[in-house]
Amino acid sequence: MSRLRVSGFTLSLDGFGAGPGQSLAHPLGEGAEALHGWLVGTRTFHREVLHDAGGETGPEDDLAMRSLENLGAWIMGRNMFGPVRGPWPDATWRGWWGENPPYHVPVFVLTHHAREPLEMAGGTTFHFVTDGPDVALRRAREAAGARDVRLGGGVATIRRYLLAGLVDELHLAVSPVLLGSGEPLLAGVNLPALGYRVAEHMITPHAQHVVLQRS
């Protein structure tokens, strides 16, 4: 069976995975764009998201490349897909990433409101799942085959799968940024009781990286 992975999810030093006041202008919440300094300067980010030849190699780029290895599908929450709330007013919103999103595999979006699949350039198709996280995981694993499923944000989506003991590997990047408020990822989560152990840790110029694996 394919693994369910969280890769390169960034937290502030005080434990928040998103800041307050998420909106179209601040998709990660106010101040939270600063969390991702370790990632946005990498060659992998430039290639996959900005579609240019810029960026730097090095340990952070190695981690960014590793996060994309052996992926057959993604799962994400609706907030990660976009800022639209409630029933879809129309099909205008097509994600944050332009017509060629950096996924290149099927993506299963958790939502309470049905929408037809959205096929994009580069092999990405967004499927909108209204039957809950278990169905999304089953469909993602069917699509991934022997490859892994990557679990994207937001915080609530990761916590849901984490507390259910379904996440096999969790790579967290802890950025030296204080947000003060927002959405905490690990508040009230007893990771050892859920079977997680620290398998790797590394300090890079912009973050501390910790990989947790479930026994």
* Secondary structure class of 32 (helix, strand, coil): helix
How is residue 182 written in tokens? 């927002």
Between strands 118-119 and 125-129, the pairing is antiparallel
Residue 151: is it exposed, middle or buried by C-beta count within 10 angstroms (0-12/13-18/19+)? buried
Does 108 score more than 90 pLDDT? yes
Q: What is the rounded average pLDDT for all residues in the chain? A: 95
Q: Tell me, what's the pLDDT at 27? A: 85
Does 1 score more than 80 pLDDT? no
Does 20 score more than 90 pLDDT? no
pLDDT digits (tens, 9 = 90+) for 145-192: 999 999 998 999 999 999 999 999 999 999 999 999 999 999 999 999
- Domains, the chain, with CATH or none: 4-87+99-214 (3.40.430.10)
Query: Mean pLDDT over residues 33-41, rounded?
Result: 94
Query: How far apart, in whole angstroms, are the C-alpha atoms of residue 78 and residue 127?
Result: 11
Query: How far apart, in whole angstroms, are the C-alpha atoms of residue 201 and residue 141?
Result: 28
Query: 193 CB contacts (<8 Å, ≥6 apart)?
Result: none
pLDDT digits (tens, 9 = 90+) for 50-87: 999 999 999 999 999 999 999 999 999 999 999 888 99
* pLDDT grade for 137, boundaries at 50, 70 and 90: very high
